[in-house]
């Protein structure tokens, strides 16, 4: 069983990486990942994930999702309509989960046309619903430069927005997500919109 699990993990991670967060998804890729996900979920070594929240703690990189996010998108779409309608290119998506204050934050790295890099942070908080489900309360959306040496005025100029445009906003909606597989370095989640997420621990 251990050997079988390792083989499925390696194949799932490899195909998920090649999909580039799902941006390069094809019907064949989706079918392969769905099949592998179901197989690995059946072998989940952590049968009651929310009783082992220490396994979730830390920073995770999203390898694949069926969320439908586009590589070229806008800050507005990334922030549920709260941030300005500025076109950006997504380069990485991460999730940071910490037991302190029950943090459940999504971090989206992007570039704008000028080559400036930025980060959109979606702050949220989780509560445990049952042995595998987390309820998620979304609290705030914000964006900033990924370069600490870049001034806010220069970053705003790169985005094409003036000082009157807010780069942070409160959020007030909820969702849930089921942890369907978790070990030391791999996690699968299925959300309330029936989306599948494949994440690996970020070193």
Model pLDDT for residues 92-150, shown as the tens digit of each residue: 999 999 999 999 999 999 999 889 999 999 999 999 999 999 999 999 999 999 999 99
Q: What is the mean pLDDT of residues 151-173?
A: 96
The answer, yes or no, to whether residue 158 has pLDDT greater than 80, is yes
Q: Helical H runs in the chain?
A: 2-18, 27-41, 75-78, 152-159
* The total number of structural domains that make up the chain: 1
pLDDT in tens, 34-60: 999 999 999 999 999 999 999 999 999
The band of 193, judged by pLDDT with boundaries at 50, 70 and 90, is confident
**Residue percentage of the chain with pLDDT more than 90:** 92
- CATH code, 87: 2.40.128.280
* CB burial string 54-87: b at 16+ within 10 A, e below: ebbeeebbbbbbbeebeeebbbbebbeebbbebe
- Domain residues for the domain of 144 are 2-201
């Amino acid at each position: 069983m251990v050997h079988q699990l390792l083989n499925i993990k390696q194949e799932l991670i490899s195909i998920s990486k090649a999909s580039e967060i799902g941006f390069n998804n094809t019907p064949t890729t989706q079918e392969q990942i769905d099949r592998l996900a179901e197989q690995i979920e059946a072998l989940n070594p952590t049968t009651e994930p929310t009783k082992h929240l220490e396994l979730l703690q830390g920073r995770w990189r999203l390898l694949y999702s069926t969320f439908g996010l586009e590589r070229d998108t806008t800050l507005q779409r990334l922030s549920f309509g709260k941030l300005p309608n500025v076109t950006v290119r997504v380069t990485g998506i991460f999730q940071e989960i910490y037991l302190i204050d029950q943090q459940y934050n999504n971090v989206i790295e992007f570039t704008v046309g000028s080559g400036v890099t930025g980060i959109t942070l979606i702050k949220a908080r989780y509560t445990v619903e049952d042995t595998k489900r987390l309820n998620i309360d979304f609290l705030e959306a914000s964006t900033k430069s990924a370069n600490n040496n870049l001034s806010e005025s220069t970053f705003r100029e790169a985005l094409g927005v003036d000082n009157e445009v807010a780069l942070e906003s409160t959020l007030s909606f909820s969702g849930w997500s089921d942890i369907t597989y978790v070990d030391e370095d791999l996690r699968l989640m299925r959300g309330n919109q029936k989306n599948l997420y494949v994440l690996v621990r970020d070193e």
